[in-house]
Structure 1
């Protein structure tokens, strides 16, 4: 077992926001290179330790739909907060739905004619986001219906793919709101594409974990508090609690488990509760002499397995970036990151409407 080294000085809120969004993109990008590969194939290509750095990649790195949808989540929240700051009440979930419909357009998928036509915003002009990077089927189909999915009118009612979790860190980055508000925003936003209770609750648990970290908790305490909260809501998804408890217990073992044992214990990450459990385990089971070393170690563990490597890597990166701030982001990895100015641009827009 390894514990994250304590940051000597608590990072600023601004550093946590940039750190979480950039950290998630780094984990996503390294994981995207091996997303559909078995661990045997990963070792065959990169050696026994697997993929451990961007320098091993041939050509440029790319982030996936995970980072795309995370940034569009930020934009939907920013639009709602812009209205609120102007004294106009706005439906936050409607703003998020419109943002996700704009993301759908970047994937060359037409929404139903019954769907509203959103007005373009700054993010939509960023050409780097207009690439199809293995988007989740439920995200595409749920948005293409033209109807706004809700708990009462679910779309994809049986789907609990990880497409809800991987985009939900930004809900935890909104300051000065309650745990109840974080829960409602993230679970209702998950319902826009996924109707299964575990998809909604896993997104909420992840958002609450980030929220608790930003409020000053360590990662394990933040995870336990998030789990306690979702266990207490009326909606039930017992598989989420089982996976998160397994991750928390597994991380207490004196040694880090290998990729085969990891996926046997926690799953491959294709579904919501598994992706969150694997990403959380990777953070809690690793450490280092510096925040950057912890970040490298956690991402390497999070992506080198037979599963949804970009989503598990993205979740681990979001968590550590929120915890340490930008201090944990390896400089050489940032140099290899695709479009950091766009990611920072969205971070700055979130900060502008939340901190002035």
Structure 2
């Protein structure tokens, strides 16, 4: 399968999951079931019209746009610092959220993405993402901003770091970790982002799902630097997904958490992908995984967005239901950024 298809599949799949989950992010299960029935939210047709994606997709697009800028410079023979381009992209996102970039920080040059109306909306951006950027200092692993924060605002924007096929796995992990440290400092946030990006990278390069997940489990077990809570949650998700019966939404969050922090969001999303992997075809896999990842008491848009990134990287854009794509406002902006990334990596 062409890598371009997987890049589009991952970014568009993430946007679909985000939009589906965002519709119920702040609802508890009783309210979700009262509105959509006992099975919860299963399809965009239940929402009665086009819906929006959240800050998760906005920041994912800025991750990708920062990489696109660095890759475009490289094509011109100019060496650009990828992390600096990503930081500048996040500062551009900060402006779209109505926050003034501090005078102590660089003043980034506007790009096409900034002018798109769908990027101007404030859709419950994470507090750590805002404060980590608003201080004007470039956070790093050595000098983290928000050192105690492990919110899922890192991992939900990290898929693009796994979507550059030319990068070695070590470079993927380093770039994803460094980008997470721009806003969050807790080891679980940093390691969750790196492991998620590495999973995406493996799928991008053609690894079957079980092989990519086995590699993920091996890294978590073998690396002594892995935070214990990340190792525990993700390995538990893998084990639970092997059971014949899917977890109920109540059991899902009781076992793996509600997804407000990075390792929980990763675990819930990964469980949803693995528990639905026996679906009849790729499109059905995406539908089932996103519905499972979105229908619970927790951070539904982030968990479903991460699940969409994974399924899209696995199956490519052929897994994207056309009716779902037509149901999300601004999906053409996601498609353009994804297609630009695919073109810049030569695919």
| Aligned equivalents of 1:110, 1:120: Cα separation in 2 | 14
Moved over 6 A (4+): none
TM-score when normalising by structure 1:
0.95
Match of 1:28 in 2: 18
Match of 2:241 in 1: 251
Q: Which stretches in structure 1 are left out of the alignment for 5+ residues?
A: 1-10
In the TM superposition, what are the counterparts of 1:76-155 in structure 2 within 5 Å?
A: 76-155=66-145
2:252 to 256, 262, 273: 262
Q: Give 1:232 deviation, angstroms.
A: 4.5
Q: Give 1:220 deviation, angstroms.
A: 2.9
Match of 1:240 in 2: 230
Match of 1:307 in 2: 298
Match of 1:48 in 2: 38
Contact 1:204 1:230 in 2 (8 A): no
Contact 2:172 2:197 in 1 (8 A): yes
1:160 equivalent to 2:150? Answer yes
CA offset digits 1:275-303 (Å, max 9, x no partner): 00000000100132111111111111000
Root-mean-square deviation (CA, aligned residues, Å) is 1.2
Match of 1:37 in 2: 27
Q: How many residues align?
A: 346
Contact 1:201 1:230 in 2 (8 A): no
| Aligned equivalents of 2:330, 2:113: Cα separation in 1 | 12
Q: Give 1:230 deviation, angstroms.
A: 5.0
Q: Give 1:340 deviation, angstroms.
A: 2.1
3-state secondary structure, aligned to 1:31:
helix
2:322 to 326, 331, 336: 331
Match of 1:351 in 2: 342
Match of 1:75 in 2: 65
In the TM superposition, what are the counterparts of 1:154-193 in structure 2 within 5 Å?
A: 154-193=144-183
3-state secondary structure, aligned to 1:166:
helix
Match of 1:6 in 2: none
| Aligned equivalents of 2:21, 2:294: Cα separation in 1 | 5
3-state secondary structure, aligned to 2:255:
helix
TM-score when normalising by structure 2:
0.97
1:225 to 215, 218, 226: 215
| Aligned equivalents of 2:90, 2:223: Cα separation in 1 | 26
| Aligned equivalents of 1:267, 1:221: Cα separation in 2 | 25
Match of 1:278 in 2: 268
Contact 1:292 1:330 in 2 (8 A): yes
3-state secondary structure, aligned to 1:310:
helix
Q: Which moved more, 1:181-190 or 1:324-333?
A: 324-333
Contact 2:104 2:136 in 1 (8 A): yes
Q: Which stretches in structure 2 are left out of the alignment for 5+ residues?
A: none
| Aligned equivalents of 2:195, 2:204: Cα separation in 1 | 14
Match of 2:203 in 1: 213
Q: Which moved more, 1:77-86 or 1:259-268?
A: 77-86
| Aligned equivalents of 1:114, 1:224: Cα separation in 2 | 45
| Aligned equivalents of 1:90, 1:228: Cα separation in 2 | 33
